[in-house]
Amino acid sequence: MVTWIFCLWVLLHHSVLEALVQLPADESENCSDKSQKISFSHSYKIDMPKSSQIKVEAVPQPLQDDSNVPLATDETDEGEEQNIIFRHNIRLQTPRGDCGILGQLKGFLERLEKMEMDMINLRGLCNPQRCCGRSQGVSSCSGHGTFIQETCSCNCDEGWEGLDCSRPLCPGNCNGNGHCIAGRCICNALYAGEDCSQLLCPQNCSGNGVCLHGVCHCYKAFTGEDCSEKRCPRDCSGNGYCDSGECYCEDGFLGLDCSKVRAPWNARLLKTTEDSLAIGWDKMTEVDYYVIAYFPLGNETSVKQVQVPKTDITYEILGLLPGTKYIIALRNVRKSISSDPELLQGSTAVSAVGAIWVTEETENSLEVEWENPETEVDYYKLRYKSLLGEEKEVMVPKSGDAKSRYVITGLKPGMQYEITVISMKGEMEGKPSTVNGWTEIDCPQNLVTDQVTESTASLSWSEVQALIDRYVVIYGSAHGDSKELSLSKDKSSTILTDLRPGMEYFIYLWAERGTQQSEGRSVKVLTELDGPTNLVTTQVTEDTATLSWNGAKAPIDRYIISYASADGDTKEISVGRDKTTTTLMGLKPGTEYTISIWAMKGTQQSRKASTKAETEIDGPKNLRTDQVTENTTTISWSKASAPIDGYILSYTSSDGEKKEIAVGKDRSSMTLTGLKPGMEYLISIWAVKGSQQSKRTSTRAVTEIDTPRNFHVSDVTQSSAVAMWLPPDAEISGYLLTYQEPDGTSREVLLGPNDQKFVLEGLVRGTKYTIYIAAFKGDRWSKKTTTTFSTVSLRYPYPADCSQMQQNGHASSGMYTIYLNGDVNRPLQVYCDMTTDGGGWIVFQRRNNGQLDFYKRWRNYVEGFGDPNGEFWLGLEKLHELTSTAPVPYEMRVDLRTSNESAYAAYDLFQVGPSRDRYRLSVGKYKGTAGDAMTYHNGYRFTTWDRDNDIAISNCAMTHHGGWWYKNCHLANPNGKYGENKHSEGVNWEPWKGHLYSIPFTELKIRPRSHSFEPIFGRKKRSVMLKSKKARV
């Protein structure tokens, strides 16, 4: 009842307020982590008549919401109708970081919108103007229809709908292709127009066609539902698919429009016969079948064609003409389209000959015959080859008969040959026909008997050429007995044994292979008589030999014995046929005899039996010692009369050492060497011949005492000398040393066996002495050994410079050892110039080939470098020692040379200071032809690239490539860069050649200024401290 009253008095007023708080438009895809909340407020106001029995409460309190969105309150006038107000406050809090909630919220809003539409309908039903419970009200139907009182409803005009006809209708109700909103059609995606009746085309045909009724009609060059694709040539002929205007063909098709079928692959000829050709090709999966066309070359009109299933990859074409060349075309077929042909050429074989056989065989020929083929041929090719691989070929003309034949000559005997006959037509060959043939075995040739004895015969022959299995020999005597031998095929000789002496035999020989046998050859032979055997020498003396033997079996007349010595003396004796022993007399001693014996019967002679016999030998006699030295002795003897091989000489020392040597048979003397001095030896000798040995003969010998060895004199002074030696090998008692004074007086000194040196004192200076020494034992003396020496007569035993070396007699330039200040403990190797300007110069610098780099460090210039025989620098420290510590001043000379000029510069003073003063230079007055360049450098210190001691701003050694006593910088630069002609950088001597010429040869030298033959330095006498005996004169 209340509901009915409520609907009856409902007012046609509806207000809906919605507030959406914090719902940004663009955050549906960017979910922030901030909490989002959505609040909906709805207010539904329904005006009620004041006369209504329904009491409506005033506007409720607004919702408390953080969004501060005010709700419509609509104050009610006391005099007006009452209102029914529905208020909804929906507050949603979105979860943090959940994007999925937005989709759910959208669905919720749609349901809310539906609820609002239901409220609008409800409001329409409860509108007081339409309420059927009010008798005096007439509905206006929103001005778009007629109100029907009986039904309490509106009959809407065309184009409107709803309970109160307030909603306009869309045209055609949008034809089901959209939805109507406020009288307007909102079309679906594929439709357009006011009533959504027009069907749209995809992508509006992409601008490449015309849209009719929703279907694109593409221009000629395009295709596809939306005309966006380019059309391919001929639409790929239905054999592929099109992509971007390009055809992608199915397997088996090719071409821009896929209209061609892929041709067969790897077509080849497999087999040829007389009437068929077999071909093959590689399998292709995308093919329906194959087509093979063929015809004889030059006769295209007779072409034939055959279809082959796709499963086959070979085909044999039958029924062809022999010896004919054919053209074969193979095509693939797919979808009734044929590919381009794959062409082959093939020829059928020429007809083969019929039966073939060998009709005649000889040792070196074979005759072969065959049946001619039925088809026409030009000629025959006949090949024959042996098992050895030798092959030959001949051409045989065709024959008009039914058969052809050919004789093959020049073959090897006993050889199997393979014979092949081939029919030929032009260049084409028929099928070969083959037969084998054997040539006959050749017979052995040159059958001879080489050696014949009483029981054997040596048989030889020339080998046959044929390959055989064996040789067969049959031999028999006149008495009828015979034997057969089978011999190896490699044999060419044999020895027939067990023959009877003096018997005639017939011998036959032939070759065999299997059952094949060659012709035979024969020969006769007569065996010899048998002779004596087992000849031996039973006893031998110096002049006799006794023989024995076994007698011959055959009846004989006598025996003949022959014996010959090595020197050719031969004798023969006759012995009775019953004898089996005899003694040969009158033989030579130590001689080998060759003895032979044989039997005789008439003029027939048996083979000989031989032996050797050697008479005993006599030994050497009269052994004596002829000469004896300290390590040798010579012996002699009388030779043995017998022929011998040689002598054995044995000698044994008293200390038990024994040696043996072989001596030639022609020797009668011998010198034994390598003996020990002062030793007694037992010497024996005997003759030998083979294993024979004569009696020995012996003697004794004692070797002399050997002399002292390496006798020499050392440490010679003006008045003394030391004589030294090594002891002899022999045991001795002592030594006797003898020497002679200048006045002829001889002095002797007796020394003990252990002495090895002796000091001679009190000698005369500059005198030549000859001394002798001999060793002795008992009354036996060794030979004397001698040596000579001269006492010292030099003015300068330890010369301090080249000047003193020259005064000691050295006149040649070269390397010498001098002694600084004459000190024997301070030797120095220098190069002395003994020829320039009187000689006596110490050369301290030389440049002559440029092979040595003079751009050196300070240390190198201090110590010196190079080879004094070539380019070198002696050294600053040595120059200081020579020029600053000597008792007399030194002078200097500079020699300069080119290829055709020379000059010199000399200074009467040259001195180099100590290292602490950087080797400061002092030079004296100049004379010469080269000009004075050294005075400019006088008083200045030495400079190298790593030690700058000059007065220039820069380092002169570095800029002028050398080391020198630079000032600022130089007039002389002998240590500059060799061959360098740049200003001041080469080997310069400015007064002579200027600064722009590098001089190829420089030599700097010094010597004492008082160069003469007078002594300069005092010398200390040396004393020889020898712990030996001394002799004073």
The CATH number for 776's domain is: 2.60.40.10
Give the distance from CA 148 to its chain's centroid.
119
Q: What is the mean pLDDT of the chain?
A: 82
pLDDT in the model for residue 45: 52
Q: What is the mean pLDDT of residues 423-438?
A: 84
pLDDT in the model for residue 797: 82
In a domain, 238, yes or no: no
Q: 912 and 838 share a domain?
A: yes
The residue among 393, 435, 388 whose CA lies nearest residue 415 is 388
- Whether the per-residue pLDDT at 267 is higher than 70: the answer is yes
Question: Of 83, 115, 137, which residue constitutes the final position of a domain?
Answer: 137
Residue 168 falls in which region: left (phi positive, over 0), alpha (psi -120 to 50) or beta: beta
pLDDT in the model for residue 121: 64
In a domain, 858, yes or no: yes
pLDDT band at residue 193 using 50, 70 and 90 as cut-offs: confident
Q: 896 and 987 share a domain?
A: yes
In a domain, 467, yes or no: yes
Q: 466 and 426 share a domain?
A: no
pLDDT in the model for residue 104: 63
- Give the C-alpha separation, 353 to 422, whole Å: 7
- Give the C-alpha separation, 996 to 985, whole Å: 8
Residue 606 CB partners (closer than 8 Å, separation 6+): 454, 528, 529, 530, 531, 532, 552, 554, 556, 598, 599, 600
Q: 745 and 814 share a domain?
A: no
Q: 999 and 867 share a domain?
A: yes
- Whether the per-residue pLDDT at 556 is higher than 80: the answer is yes
pLDDT band at residue 987 using 50, 70 and 90 as cut-offs: very high
Residue found by looking up tokens 């001689």 in the block: 591
> Dihedrals φ, ψ of 862, to 5°?
-70, -45
Question: Of 438, 462, 477, which residue constitutes the final position of a domain?
Answer: 438
Query: Looking at 41-45, 617-621, 627-631, 1023-1027, which range is the least confident one?
Result: 1023-1027
- Give the C-alpha separation, 665 to 645, whole Å: 6
pLDDT in the model for residue 21: 34
pLDDT band at residue 93 using 50, 70 and 90 as cut-offs: low
Q: Which DSSP helix (H) or strand (E) runs through 547?
A: strand 545-550
pLDDT band at residue 52 using 50, 70 and 90 as cut-offs: very low
pLDDT in the model for residue 724: 94
pLDDT in the model for residue 95: 52
Question: Of 113, 137, 161, which residue constitutes the final position of a domain?
Answer: 137
Q: What is the mean pLDDT of residues 987-1012?
A: 93
pLDDT in the model for residue 66: 45
662 burial type by CB count under 10 A (0-12 exposed, 13-18 middle, 19+ buried): exposed
Q: What is the mean pLDDT of residues 617-640?
A: 87
CA atoms within 13 A on the CB side of 895: 16
Report the b/e string of 150-167 with b at 16+ CB within 10 A: eeebbebbeebbbbbbbb
Q: What is the mean pLDDT of residues 157-164?
A: 80
In a domain, 786, yes or no: yes
Q: How do residues 871-928 score in pLDDT, each as one tens digit?
A: 999 999 999 999 998 888 999 999 999 999 999 999 999 999 999 999 999 999 999 9
pLDDT band at residue 325 using 50, 70 and 90 as cut-offs: confident
Q: Which domain holds residue 97?
A: 2-137
- Whether the per-residue pLDDT at 49 is higher than 50: the answer is no
pLDDT in the model for residue 42: 53
User: H/E/C letters for each residue in 402-452?
Assistant: CEEEEEECCCCCCCEEEEEEEEEECCEEECCEEEEEECCCCCCEEEEEEEE
Q: What is the mean pLDDT of residues 29-46?
A: 48
Q: What is the mean pLDDT of residues 752-764?
A: 90
pLDDT in the model for residue 35: 43
Strand order in the sheet with 669-672: 621-628, 633-638, 669-672
Q: 486 and 572 share a domain?
A: no
pLDDT band at residue 55 using 50, 70 and 90 as cut-offs: very low
pLDDT in the model for residue 126: 56
Q: 815 and 955 share a domain?
A: yes
Q: What is the mean pLDDT of residues 21-46?
A: 45
Q: How do residues 360-377 score in pLDDT, each as one tens digit?
A: 888 889 899 988 887 778
What sections of 941-1033 are H helices per DSSP?
Answer: 956-959, 990-993
Q: 503 and 593 share a domain?
A: no
pLDDT in the model for residue 676: 87
Angle in degrees, CA 618, 621, 625, rounded to 5:
150
pLDDT in the model for residue 122: 63
pLDDT in the model for residue 1011: 62
pLDDT in the model for residue 1020: 34
pLDDT, greater one: 516 or 187: 187
pLDDT in the model for residue 160: 82
Residue 902 falls in which region: left (phi positive, over 0), alpha (psi -120 to 50) or beta: beta
The 3-state DSSP class for residue 238 equals helix
In a domain, 332, yes or no: yes
Residue 796 CB partners (closer than 8 Å, separation 6+): 804, 805, 807, 808, 822, 1015, 1017, 1019
Residue 234 falls in which region: left (phi positive, over 0), alpha (psi -120 to 50) or beta: left
**508, 517 Cβ separation under 8 angstroms:** no
Sheet strands (E) in 589-742: 592-601, 604-605, 609-614, 621-628, 633-638, 646-653, 658-664, 669-672, 680-689, 692-693, 697-702, 709-714, 721-726, 734-740
**476, 397 Cβ separation under 8 angstroms:** no
Q: 408 and 486 share a domain?
A: no
The count of domains in the chain is 8
pLDDT in the model for residue 102: 58
pLDDT, greater one: 950 or 618: 950
In a domain, 589, yes or no: yes
- Give the C-alpha separation, 1019 to 1030, whole Å: 25
pLDDT, greater one: 835 or 246: 835
pLDDT in the model for residue 468: 86
Residue 1027 CB partners (closer than 8 Å, separation 6+): none
Query: Looking at 93-97, 496-500, 697-701, 974-978, which range is the least confident one?
Result: 93-97
pLDDT band at residue 504 using 50, 70 and 90 as cut-offs: confident
- Give the C-alpha separation, 786 to 783, whole Å: 10
Q: 880 and 926 share a domain?
A: yes
- Give the C-alpha separation, 527 to 147, whole Å: 175
Instruction: Dump the DSSP string for 82-136.
Output: EEEEEEEEEEEEEPTT-THHHHHHHHHHHHHHHHHHHHHHHHHHT-TTT-TT-TT
Q: What is the mean pLDDT of residues 107-117?
A: 72
Q: 98 and 128 share a domain?
A: yes
Q: 537 and 517 share a domain?
A: no
What does pTM read for this prediction?
0.32
Q: What is the DSSP letter of 529?
A: P
Q: What is the DSSP letter of 821?
A: G
Q: Which DSSP helix (H) or strand (E) runs through 495?
A: strand 493-496
Q: What is the mean pLDDT of residues 808-833?
A: 92
pLDDT, greater one: 393 or 36: 393
In a domain, 369, yes or no: yes
Residue 698 CB partners (closer than 8 Å, separation 6+): 623, 682, 683, 684, 685
In a domain, 282, yes or no: yes
pLDDT, greater one: 680 or 1021: 680
